[in-house]
Every structure is written in structure tokens, then in C-alpha cells.
Amino acid sequence: MKDRPHRVDLADVIRWHLESERAFGMHELPLSGLRPVSHGEGAAAAAPTEVGRDGAHPSKTSSEPSSDPDVPAALEAIAGRIAACTACRLSESRTHAVPGQGNPRARLMFVGEAPGRDEDLQGLAFVGRSGQLLTRMIEALGLRRDDVFIANVIKCRPPENRDPAADEVQACFHFLMDQIDLVRPEVICTLGGCATNNLLGRSDPMHRMRGRVFPFRGAQVVPTYHPSYLLRRPEEKRKAWADLQVAARLLGLEVPRKS
Ligand code: SF4
């Protein structure tokens, strides 16, 4: 994979900026599609893998598709348990719990921090402005939202969108682990520092985690920025685009460098 060069070149900076803007649908610039490449080629060209806190999946290797026919039903059962959950104080202020949604056999999962206002009102993950940008990010990979699974670390909205408290994460974390173990994604893109640190058990700033790949429960975790951050800091979209290119490589897709 062609990653951002170490020596900054103005032409490369402009190209990366245009690619990310175009990829996320912010400008009407031509974008050719992704072409499939072999899994080995993609994985070998991706960012170097680092060791996370949990590198082992309990029951399968990451390259195997899920063969459990009851996965959709099991995910529905988890969603039902989440809807009825009162294990932490967030149950008292939520409108709807937000279990997450998507393809039960997705190869790519996105994990955010927590539901926001729009998600709380609708009971669906990433449906506000951030969700619209996430949709464009997914489509830039040549995928549809229905192809991926989207969830959050915690399932109920914290008041005023504050960061989730440690005890809230602890109470809720098992739901996400169950979802990961059922879906068995090959790649998990964590969205933002809160999601990344909570998933991996780290406490690092985002700029030190993105650009790296971490093994976790049989998947490869690719940290990138949260869409809400990208809406506030659009100049960072080229970095998010680079992260998505890493995910694409791990999935055996190749993003063309030039249209
Ligand atoms: S945030 Fe999680 S643990 Fe807390 S009430 Fe909601 S579903 Fe239960």
C-alpha cells in the first residue's frame, strides 16, 4: 500500500487531501471503484500489526467466514437484552438503547464510543450527521452500510454526550464482546480515541494509535478518527482516508491512488 510519504511533498499532500475529500463525497471529483486483490497481497501491504490486550479469538481464525446459522437470531437476542438492560445509570436517561445494526456476517465492523441524540431517539447507531459521514466513508470503500456492522462500546446515550464513565463501560462491555464474537469481523475500525482505548484497554492519544493495527479477538483493529471529529476538523479527513485504505488492504481491497 502507498502510505503517506515520510518526507512531506506538497503535491502528495494536495493529492491526499483531494483523495479524502473525494472519497467522503465532499466534492464532486471522480472516484474510481475498488478492485479486489488477493488476501495475502492486501494484508502484507497494510500497516504493521502491533499487539493489543487481547489477540486471540476464542473459537476461530479471522479468515474463516462465520458458519453459525443462528448468528442473526443470537444478535437479535443480544439486542433484546440490551433494550431491557438496567445495569448502569444510563438506562434511566435513555430514550432507546442502541445495540447496533448491520450485516450479521460482516467482514468489517465499525465501533464508536456511544450513541448521540439522534441515535438515542431512533435506537439506531450512527444516524445523525456523523452517521451520514460514516456512510460516505463506507461507500468510499466500495461497500454499503448493509455490508458492515456498526456498534458502539456502550449502548445507551450518556447525558449531554459526555464521555462514558469507567463503570458504565465495564457494565456494558460484554455486549460488544458478544457481538464481535458472533459477527467475527476480519477488521474492526474503531472511531475515535474513546472507542479505541476502551476496546484495546489503552489510554493513548489518538494520534499515537492511528496508523497502527492491533489484533483483537481474531480481528485486526484499525483505529481512525470519529466522524464527528472529522466534521469539526475536515483537514484531518486525509488521515482517516489513509486509515480506511489500511482497512481496505486488510480486507483484500485496493483503493486506487489516482482516478
Ligand atoms: S449503557 Fe449498557 S450497561 Fe448501561 S444500561 Fe445501557 S445497555 Fe445496560
Q: For the residues 41-61, what does the mean pLDDT come to?
A: 46
Q: For the residues 24-46, what does the mean pLDDT come to?
A: 41
Q: For the residues 124-134, what does the mean pLDDT come to?
A: 96
Domain ranges across the chain: 10-254
pLDDT at 62 over 60: no
> What pLDDT shows up at residue 38?
34
Distance CA 144, CA 134 (A): 11
Which CATH number does 10-254 carry?
Answer: 3.40.470.10
Contact, 183 vs 78, CB < 8 A?
A: no
Q: Which residues does residue 149 pair with via DSSP β-bridges, in sequence order? A: 102, 109
pTM over 0.85: no
137: amino acid identity, one letter: M
pLDDT at 4 over 60: no
Atom number of ligand 1 nearest to Cα 82: 7
CB 113 near ligand 1, within 6 Å = no
89, 155, 169, best to mutate for ligand 1 pocket (most atoms within 8 Å of CB): 155
**C-alpha of residue 123 to centroid of ligand 1, in Å:** 13
CB 231 near ligand 1, within 6 Å = no
